[in-house]
């Protein structure tokens, strides 16, 4: 496996929204879900996850509730709110446009100019 | 909907941040700990690490917990909150550490905010009054008003009947007048009470349900129905002990039996400040602008403006000539005004502006105090220059430092504000109780701390904190970093600039300027209290004896018989030495102007007119008061109805130098060319002054003329009872019983010791002098604190120099003079400037030159002494600086 790449600034929030959109998760679960959906290609500072979660909760894009984890521990579970779902949609579309534009730019050959 | 959900979510989150911070901290701690534990378990499970190593590596993978916690707090908005909390707690610690500044500043702020809040509340009640019931702002009054507002007339009984029938824009039209009757309801004492004789529509307008029974109904206004009365809640408790069976009870009101039909709630006093209501029974035989004084009120119809009501009224009520028949007066016109304005007289447009200006002025006192305190804060902040510079070097922004200084000042300002609001609450409580007892204040005006006043006080505190903390901070934090860092080595070039030293001088000058007025007021008030009326006023009881005159003048012969009967009964009481009557309480007679007959007064003074007080008295009144005869004789029974009068010593002195006043003739004059009464009066005796008012507060003993009067010619009359010994307990109640036995309609109002009567009149000056003393004390304390700060600052700045000079053998006196010379010059300048202002103020009032000079000298000395006392502490510190310590600075 190639070395994991650092996250670009501003992308952690999007990944968190995506991870939570796939199911209610606690903080550690969000980390594992991100590693799973990225195939381990992105390196996430584990502690940085929590300021991101709190920021998204402050913006009412995700909601939280205390519950019991799979190993019977008290854990805080996060779920996506309707506003969060809408934001995920717009950010995903925006990212796709950006990625598409970058891919086009980076694959341009001399003959295409 | 999504937006609303999002907003509500944010509000919930902010609420949790503000009020659930500890729980949030615990949650964050639990979350992160769980994460690390689960990561450690994964490492143990998947890689086979031992638990200790797995845990260590989990911590490494996680990163710095505290840093992420801090980031989490910042994200939630806790960062700035925590910083403010720390600064505020530091500010409170500074208050404890610098107790002198705290006490000085807290006291001064408390006085300023107390005065400001009290004035704001009382003045605000005057200009923004509103009736405290539903749609109270729709209630209006109708009155006649000529172009000259003072020419308002209330004799509108005839017009009221017409308006009630024809007006459609004003509904529930009603009227009331205030009358007084004797209330006889055992076991309570017979007592004259003030009643509202009011139409039933008054209760309909107020829309206030009674506590017991019912209120007045239109049927009660029919003169053929049995008389009824409604009472107030306070009366029900005080007079009837809260009797639950009060409804249906019969009481004697002015000799007529009335049935109590209801009790109104505690906060109800419509139409003005009433506790008793009886039906209004309108007589139809009054002409326009004739009849008793009544107030007409009503409610604007739904959707009707005051202008529309005024227009309709103009079509119904044409102009009316003045009832006196004076054809020069402009015809009066009926006008509609807001009900509360009618009773608090806010018709003058400039009145509201004046009151608002007064509110601003009293509020500005806080800023004056804040500027004074800013000097002290500046002196303290300058000594912390090094600390501030180090914080700046470590990354604190200027805004952050100013925020800290602001919060430190805010801590003090809030302490002062809390104490000031407490003072204000007490003062307003006294004012409310005084207003209730004295009457004459509308019931909708309540003197208590409203939320608007508290908010205003908090606003003042914040502005004061900006002045005290930020202004000095801007100056201190604006200096170059290197210069500030040098302060750590004691080589600061920081000085108290020209502006701040000027403020210190102005502070001293203000104290010197204010002190003479406060001292004068206190001295004059003490004179009033100490000297008293100069006769045995404690052996007299006085009361007002009145026969009601609501609809017609009383029968003079009946009145005379009853007054004689009262006096006979009183004289028969044990321990009563004598009883008499007069038109006024001695010392408070009505003023008049007289002109002398030049033919009968030898060498009459150039201005042959004199302002006097006229008293009509029983023939024996001067005997009862045991007045000393200085010339001629006292009045006798044969002087009733004649031109013989007796005058007091003050009157006689006015004529002194022109022989005896006996035989002098005068008549009462008026402002017009024609005198009111052309009869001449002749002086047949001179008695000593009683009461003899001390020459204080320009309350000179008036020149008094005593006329002999017969019983029945004075109503209401002042009855005076003299005792040989102390007044027996319960005698005032006994007097009320005697009056009720002679005639239930006869009112004996507020019998009281004459000495108590005089004390109440002069008590206002006492309260004024207390307030002035409090304000002056705060000014003095601030001035002393300012001088202390100035001296301390000087010592702090020149520590090294002082230590070296002491080591070299400098003489203490010379050393002190050179160090404090500048400060002493500023003190002298302030004293001189203040003395000049005081001198100008003193010259504007009529004060004896020697007294004025003595007062100014005393004040200047006091202020100089205060300044020197303030300098003692810093001076002693300066002389104790060890040379070794001084040399260690800048080593």
Largest CA distance in chain A: 61
Query: Could B31 and A59 be called an inter-chain contact, meaning their C-beta atoms sit closer than 8 Å?
Result: no
State whether the Cα torsion B302-B307-B312-B318 is positive or negative.
positive
Q: Residue B486: its pLDDT value, please?
A: 52
Residue range B263-273: mean pLDDT, rounded: 92
Say yes or no to pLDDT of B287 above 70: no
With a CB cutoff of 8 Å and minimum separation 6, the contacts of B225 are B219
Q: Residue B126: its pLDDT value, please?
A: 74
Query: Could A46 and B34 be called an inter-chain contact, meaning their C-beta atoms sit closer than 8 Å?
Result: no
Say yes or no to pLDDT of B283 above 50: yes
B862 burial via Cβ count (<10 Å: 0-12, 13-18, 19+): middle
Say yes or no to pLDDT of B169 above 90: yes
Q: Residue B672: its pLDDT value, please?
A: 41
Q: Residue B115: its pLDDT value, please?
A: 83
Alpha-helical segments (H) within A1-113: 11-21, 27-38, 49-58, 82-106
Residue range B530-540: mean pLDDT, rounded: 80
pLDDT digits (tens, 9 = 90+) for B389-444: 777 776 667 887 888 888 888 888 888 889 999 988 998 888 888 777 777 788 88
Which of B385, B386, B368, B379 shows the shortest CA–CA distance to B497? B379
Which of B470, B415, B400, B403 shows the shortest CA–CA distance to B101? B415
pLDDT digits (tens, 9 = 90+) for B478-503: 655 445 555 544 444 445 567 667 77
Q: How close A94 comes to chain B (CA, Å)?
A: 21
Say yes or no to pLDDT of B673 above 50: no
Phi-psi region of B328 (alpha: psi -120 to 50; beta: other; left: phi over 0): alpha
For residues B10 and B616, which has the higher predicted lDDT (pLDDT)? Answer: B616
Question: Which member of A50, A73, A81 has the closest CB to residue B72?
Answer: A50
Q: Residue A1: its pLDDT value, please?
A: 43
Q: How close B6 comes to chain A (CA, Å)?
A: 6
Q: Which chain A residues have a beta carbon less than 8 Å from that of B35?
A: 27-28, 31, 46, 50
Q: Residue A56: its pLDDT value, please?
A: 92
Query: To the nearest whole number, what is the mean pLDDT of chain A?
Result: 88
Written in H, E and C, the secondary structure of B614-658 is: EEEECCCHHHHCCCCEEEECCCCHHHCCCCEEEEEHHHHHHCCCC
Say yes or no to pLDDT of B324 above 70: no
Q: Residue B198: its pLDDT value, please?
A: 95
Report the length, in residues, of chain A: 113
In this structure, which long-range contacts are made by residues B559-563, counting pairs with CB atoms below 8 Å and at least 24 apart in sequence? B559/B711, B559/B712, B559/B715, B560/B710, B560/B711, B560/B712, B560/B713, B561/B712, B562/B742, B562/B743, B562/B746, B563/B711, B563/B712, B563/B717
Question: Which pLDDT band holds residue B849 (cuts at 50, 70, 90)?
Answer: confident
Query: Could B75 and A28 be called an inter-chain contact, meaning their C-beta atoms sit closer than 8 Å?
Result: no
Query: To the nearest whole number, what is the mean pLDDT of chain B?
Result: 80
User: Which residue in chain B is spatially nearest to A77 when comparing CA positions?
Assistant: B31
Q: How close A106 comes to chain B (CA, Å)?
A: 34
Residue range B651-675: mean pLDDT, rounded: 70
Q: How close A22 comes to chain B (CA, Å)?
A: 20
Which of B523, B517, B508 shows the shortest CA–CA distance to B866? B508
Cα–Cα distance list, B747 to A30, B561, B589, B753 (Å)? 90, 15, 21, 18
Q: Which residue has the tokens 């100035």?
A: B790
User: Which residue in chain B is spatially nearest to A69 when comparing CA positions?
Assistant: B34
Residue range B68-84: mean pLDDT, rounded: 74
Query: Could B9 and A75 be called an inter-chain contact, meaning their C-beta atoms sit closer than 8 Å?
Result: no
pLDDT digits (tens, 9 = 90+) for B792-827: 767 666 777 777 787 788 787 777 777 777 777 877
State whether the Cα torsion B473-B475-B476-B480 is positive or negative.
positive
Distance CA B299, CA B312 (A): 14
Q: How close A109 comes to chain B (CA, Å)?
A: 41
Cis amide leading into B850 (omega within 30): no
Question: Which pLDDT band holds residue B884 (cuts at 50, 70, 90)?
Answer: low
The reply to whether B9 touches chain A by the CB within 8 Å rule is yes
Query: Could B9 and A76 be called an inter-chain contact, meaning their C-beta atoms sit closer than 8 Å?
Result: no
Q: How close B49 comes to chain A (CA, Å)?
A: 19
The packing angle between helices B812-844 and B849-879, to 10°, is 150
Say yes or no to pLDDT of B79 above 70: no
Q: Residue B581: its pLDDT value, please?
A: 95
Lowest-pLDDT choice from B442-451, B636-645, B759-768, B839-848: B839-848
Q: Residue B323: its pLDDT value, please?
A: 47
Question: Which pLDDT band holds residue A2 (cuts at 50, 70, 90)?
Answer: very low
Which of B354, B307, B334, B363 shows the shortest CA–CA distance to B117? B363
**Predicted structure pTM score:** 0.66
Report the length, in residues, of chain B: 891
pLDDT digits (tens, 9 = 90+) for B18-56: 666 778 888 888 999 999 999 999 999 999 999 999 999
Say yes or no to pLDDT of B249 above 50: yes
Q: Residue B674: its pLDDT value, please?
A: 40
Q: Residue B615: its pLDDT value, please?
A: 93
pLDDT digits (tens, 9 = 90+) for B114-150: 888 888 888 877 776 778 888 888 999 988 765 544 4
Question: Which member of A60, A66, A73 has the closest CB to residue B6?
Answer: A60
Residues of A with CB under 8 A from a CB of B: 26-28, 31, 45-48, 50-51, 54-55, 57-60, 63, 66, 69, 71, 73-76, 81-83, 86
Query: Could A46 and B9 be called an inter-chain contact, meaning their C-beta atoms sit closer than 8 Å?
Result: no
Q: Which run of H or of E encompasses B512?
A: helix B498-531
User: Which residue in chain A is spatially nearest to B36 when comparing CA positions?
Assistant: A28
Q: Residue B143: its pLDDT value, please?
A: 82
pLDDT digits (tens, 9 = 90+) for B541-578: 999 999 887 767 788 899 999 999 999 999 999 889 99
Say yes or no to pLDDT of B891 above 50: no
CA dihedral A24, A27, A29, A31 (to 10 degrees): 120
Q: Residue B839: its pLDDT value, please?
A: 77
* Number of inter-chain CB pairs under 8 A, A vs B: 83
- Cβ contact B527:B694 at 8 Å: yes
Q: Residue B20: its pLDDT value, please?
A: 67
Report which listed range, B171-180, B398-407, B878-887, is most confident: B171-180
- Cβ contact B336:B310 at 8 Å: yes
Say yes or no to pLDDT of B762 above 80: no
Q: How many CA atoms does the CB half-sphere of A34 hold within 13 Å?
A: 22
- Cβ contact B528:B856 at 8 Å: no
Q: Residue B670: its pLDDT value, please?
A: 61
Question: Which pLDDT band holds residue B155 (cuts at 50, 70, 90)?
Answer: low
Cα–Cα distance list, B783 to B549, B751, B787 (Å)? 59, 49, 6
Say yes or no to pLDDT of B108 above 50: yes
Percent of chain B beyond pLDDT 70? 81
Phi, psi of B178 (to 5 degrees): -100, 125
- The string over B224-239, giving b where at least 16 C-beta atoms fall within 10 Å of a residue's C-beta and e elsewhere, is eeeebbbbbbebbeeb
Residue range B849-863: mean pLDDT, rounded: 76
Q: Residue B580: its pLDDT value, please?
A: 96
Phi-psi region of B569 (alpha: psi -120 to 50; beta: other; left: phi over 0): alpha
Q: Residue B801: its pLDDT value, please?
A: 76
The packing angle between helices B65-75 and B51-62, to 10°, is 40
User: Which residue in chain B is spatially nearest to A53 when comparing CA positions?
Assistant: B72
Neighbours of B38 (CB within 10 A): 22
Q: Which chain B residues have a beta carbon less than 8 Å from that of A75?
A: 31, 34
């Amino acid at each position: 496996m190639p070395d994991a790449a650092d996250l670009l600034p501003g992308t952690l929030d999007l990944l968190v929204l995506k991870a939570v959109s796939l199911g209610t998760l606690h903080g550690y679960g969000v980390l594992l879900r991100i590693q799973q959906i990225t195939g381990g290609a992105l390196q996430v500072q584990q502690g940085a996850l929590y300021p991101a979660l709190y920021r998204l909760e402050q913006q009412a894009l995700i909601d939280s509730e205390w519950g019991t984890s799979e190993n019977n521990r008290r854990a805080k579970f996060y779920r996506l709110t309707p506003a969060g779902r809408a934001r995920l949609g717009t950010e995903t579309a925006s990212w796709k446009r950006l990625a598409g534009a970058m891919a086009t730019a980076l694959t341009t050959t001399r003959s295409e100019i | 909907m999504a937006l609303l959900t999002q907003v509500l979510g944010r509000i919930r989150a902010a609420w949790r941040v503000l009020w659930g911070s500890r729980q949030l901290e615990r949650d964050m701690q639990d979350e992160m700990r769980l994460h690390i534990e689960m990561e450690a378990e994964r490492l143990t499970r998947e890689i086979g690490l031992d638990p200790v190593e797995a845990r260590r590596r989990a911590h490494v993978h996680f990163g710095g917990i505290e840093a992420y916690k801090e980031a989490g707090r910042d994200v939630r908005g806790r960062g700035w909150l925590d910083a403010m909390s720390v600064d505020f707690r530091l500010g409170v610690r500074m208050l404890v550490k610098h107790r002198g500044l705290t006490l000085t500043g807290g006291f001064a702020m408390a006085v300023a905010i107390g005065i400001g809040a009290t004035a704001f509340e009382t003045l605000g009640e005057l200009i923004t009054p509103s009736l405290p019931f539903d749609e109270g702002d729709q209630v209006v009054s109708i009155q006649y008003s000529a172009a000259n507002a003072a020419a308002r007339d209330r004799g509108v009984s005839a017009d009221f009947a017409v308006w009630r029938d024809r007006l459609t824009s004003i509904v529930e039209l009603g009227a009331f007048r205030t009358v007084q009757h004797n209330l006889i309801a055992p076991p309570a004492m017979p007592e004259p009470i003030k009643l509202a004789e009011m139409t039933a529509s008054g209760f309909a307008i107020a829309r206030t349900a009674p506590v017991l029974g019912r209120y007045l109904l239109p049927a009660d206004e029919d003169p053929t129905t049995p008389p009824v009365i409604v009472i107030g809640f306070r009366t029900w408790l005080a007079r009837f002990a809260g009797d639950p069976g009060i409804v249906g009870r019969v009481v004697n009101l002015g000799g007529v039996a009335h049935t109590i039909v209801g009790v109104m709630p505690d906060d109800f006093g419509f139409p003005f400040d009433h506790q008793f209501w009886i039906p209004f029974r309108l007589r139809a035989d009054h002409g326009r602008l004739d009849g008793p004084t009544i107030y007409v009120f009503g409610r604007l119809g739904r959707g009707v403006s005051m202008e529309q009501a005024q227009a309709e009224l103009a079509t119904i009520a044409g102009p009316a000539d003045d009832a006196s028949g004076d054809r020069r007066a402009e015809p009066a016109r009926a006008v509609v005004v807001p009900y509360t304005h009618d009773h608090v007289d806010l018709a003058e447009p400039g009145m509201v502006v004046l009151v608002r200006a007064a509110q601003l002025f009293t509020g500005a006192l806080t800023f004056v105090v804040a500027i004074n305190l800013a000097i002290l804060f500046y002196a303290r902040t300058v000594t912390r220059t090094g600390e501030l510079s180090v914080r700046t070097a470590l990354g604190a922004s200027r805004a952050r430092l100013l925020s800290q200084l602001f919060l430190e000042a805010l801590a003090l300002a809030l302490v002062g504000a809390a104490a000031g609001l407490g003072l204000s609450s007490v003062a307003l409580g006294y004012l409310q109780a005084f207003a209730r007892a004295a009457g004459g204040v509308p019931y909708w005006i309540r003197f208590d701390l409203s939320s608007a006043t508290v908010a205003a006080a908090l606003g003042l505190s914040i502005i004061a904190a900006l002045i005290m903390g930020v202004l000095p901070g801007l100056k201190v934090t604006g200096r170059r970093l290197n210069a500030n860092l040098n302060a750590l080595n004691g080589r600061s070039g920081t000085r108290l600039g020209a502006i701040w030293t000027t403020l210190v001088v102005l502070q001293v000058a203000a104290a010197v300027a204010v002190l003479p007025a406060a001292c004068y007021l206190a001295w004059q008030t003490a004179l009033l209290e100490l000297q008293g009326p100069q006769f045995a006023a404690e052996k007299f009881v006085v009361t007002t004896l009145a026969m009601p005159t609501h609809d017609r003048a009383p029968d003079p012969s009946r009145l005379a018989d009853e007054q004689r009967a009262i006096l006979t009964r009183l004289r028969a009481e044990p321990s009563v030495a004598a009883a008499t009557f007069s038109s006024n309480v001695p010392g408070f007679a009505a003023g008049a102007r007289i002109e002398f007959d030049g033919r009968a007064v030898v060498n009459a003074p150039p201005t042959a007119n004199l302002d006097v007080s006229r008293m009509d008295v029983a023939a024996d009144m001067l005997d009862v008061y045991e007045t000393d005869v200085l010339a001629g004789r006292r009045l006798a029974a044969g002087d009733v109805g004649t031109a013989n009068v007796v005058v007091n010593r003050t009157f006689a002195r006015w004529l002194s130098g022109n022989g005896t006043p006996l035989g002098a003739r005068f008549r009462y004059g008026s402002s017009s060319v024609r005198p009111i009464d052309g009869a001449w009066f002749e002086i047949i005796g001179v008695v000593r002054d009683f009461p003899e008012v001390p020459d204080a507060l320009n309350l000179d003993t008036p020149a008094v003329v005593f006329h002999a009067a017969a019983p029945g010619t004075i109503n209401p009359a002042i009855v005076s009872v003299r005792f040989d010994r102390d007044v027996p307990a319960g005698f005032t109640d006994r007097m009320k019983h005697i009056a009720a036995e002679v005639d239930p309609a006869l009112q004996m109002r507020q019998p009281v010791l004459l000495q108590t009567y005089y004390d109440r009149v002069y008590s206002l000056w006492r309260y004024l002098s207390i307030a002035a003393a409090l304000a002056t004390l705060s000014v003095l304390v601030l001035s002393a604190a300012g001088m202390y700060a100035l001296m301390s600052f000087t010592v702090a700045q020149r520590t090294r120099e002082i230590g070296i000079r002491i080591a070299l053998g400098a003489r203490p006196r010379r050393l002190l003079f050179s160090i404090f010379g500048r400060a002493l010059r500023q003190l002298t300048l302030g004293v001189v400037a203040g003395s000049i202002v005081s001198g100008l103020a003193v010259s504007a009032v009529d004060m004896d030159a020697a007294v004025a000079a003595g007062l100014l000298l005393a004040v200047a000395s006091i202020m100089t002494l205060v300044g020197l006392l303030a300098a003692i502490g810093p001076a002693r510190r300066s002389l104790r600086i060890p040379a070794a310590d001084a040399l260690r600075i800048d080593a």
